[in-house]
Amino acid sequence: MVTRRGFIDGVSAAGAAAVFDVALPAAATARAGAGEEVADAELRARDAIRAANVGMRASYAALKSELISRLSPVIVVQNDAKGGKFTLIHGGSVQESANPVPELFELAKSISHVPQGVFSTIAAYLSDKVPNLPGAGRIDPHDLDMVAFEGPRATGWISPLQRYAATLATARRQLGKANLPQELEFSCAKILDEALTFIRDSVRSGTFDMASFEEFSARTYPSIRTNMKYAAAAQISGVEGLMRKWRDTIGEESWKDLYTVVLSIWTTSELNQASIIIRRCMNPAKVATHLIDLPTVEVPRDPVFVALDNLARIVQDNVSAEMVFPTDPVIADAFKGKEDLLSVEILHQIGATAGAPTAAPSAASACPMQKENAQLSV
C-alpha cells in the first residue's frame, strides 16, 4: 500500500525534475524505488494474511455443506397462522410435514386479533402526544411520534376503517354457524360487537383518540383471554399428539438425540409457543443445547434449508469451540453460543460486565459520546 509520506516524496521529486529540466540524482531515484517496493511488499503481506481467513471460510463452508445432509433427527417448526408447520427430517431426508394444530386455534386467534386490526388502521392518525391515561408512562413518546405520522386532523382513516367494519360485520353474522364451543362463540361475539360499536361511534363523530380506543380494547380483554385459553389448548393437543407419533416412528434411541429448530420472528423468539410445548417432549438432558429458537428477518422461502444451514453451523461450532479453545471455557462458550467471540474482551476493555448493556453504565463504561455531550452542556 502506498503511504501518504511515500506518495508526497515521489510527487515532489518528480515535480522538481520536470520544472527545472534536470535529471534526478541517483540517490533520489533509489529512495523512490525503495518506497514503492516497501509499499508493494506490505500489500502482498496483508493479502497473504487475508488469504488465511479466506481459506478458513472455504473449509468451514465445505464442512457445513456436508454436515447439512447428515443432520438427524431434526424437527423444523415454521410458525404460521394455523399453529405451525412441522417437518421431520430423519436419515438425511424429509419424512413428513404436517400442520397438526386443530382449526380452533386459528379461529380463536383470528377474532382475538380484531383490536389489533382496528389499531393498525387508525394508529397513524393518533395525536403524537401521550395523554394522561393509566399506563401512559409505559408508552415511549418518541415511539408514538413515529407511529402517529398523519396526525388527528387527517381523515384518511375513515374509509379503511369502514371496509374493515364490513369484514367484521360479515364474521359476526356468520359466527353462529361456525360450530364453535359456546363459551368461545360468546367471547368472539363480544369482541366483534365492541369493535363494531367503536368503529360506528368513531366514524359518526369523525374523531377518536387514545382514550376512546383504550376504553374499547379494555372491554374486549376478558373475551380475548377466553380465546387465548382455547387457542393454547388446541395447540398443546395438536403438537403433543404429533410428537408422540413421530417418537414412535423413529424410535427411542434416535429420539433422545433429537434436534428441534423453531423459526420465528423477533417478537415471538423468546418463550415461543411451539418451543414451550416441544421442550417437554424432548430428552431433558439435551433440550438446552438441542432446542434452537431461530429468529428470522422474514419468513424464509425454504424454511427447512434455513433451519438445517443454521443448525449445521451450531453443531460444528459446538465441537470446534472445545477443540480450538481447550484452555479457556469462557471463550469456548462464547464461540459456541449466541455471544460474539469478541464480546468478553470488549466488555473487559470498556470496564463492563455481561449484564452491563441492560443496566445503567458506570463512569468507566459510559459511551464516549455521552461523556462529550455532558462536557458540552456544562
pLDDT in tens, 116-145: 999 999 999 999 999 888 888 999 999 999
- Would you say the pTM of this structure is higher than 0.85? no
- pLDDT at residue number 2: 41
Average confidence (pLDDT) over 200-209 = 97
Packed helices 26-68 and 303-324: angle between N→C axes, nearest 10 degrees: 120
Give yes or no for residue 180 having a pLDDT over 60: yes
Give yes or no for residue 45 having a pLDDT over 50: yes
**Measuring CA to CA, which residue among 59, 129, 75, 49 is closest to residue 242?**
75
Residue 52 has, within 13 A of its CA and on its CB side, a CA count of 5
Average confidence (pLDDT) over 240-257 = 97
- pLDDT at residue number 21: 46
Packed helices 114-122 and 182-205: angle between N→C axes, nearest 10 degrees: 20
Give yes or no for residue 18 having a pLDDT over 50: no
Q: CA–CA separation, 92 vs 74, rounded Å?
A: 9
- pLDDT at residue number 281: 97
**Radius of gyration in angstroms for the set of CA atoms belonging to the chain, rounded to a whole number:** 31
How distant, in Å, are the alpha carbons of 111, 284, 322 from that of 107? Answer: 7, 33, 48
Q: CA–CA separation, 178 vs 186, rounded Å?
A: 12
- pLDDT at residue number 150: 96
Give yes or no for residue 297 having a pLDDT over 60: yes
Give yes or no for residue 356 having a pLDDT over 60: no
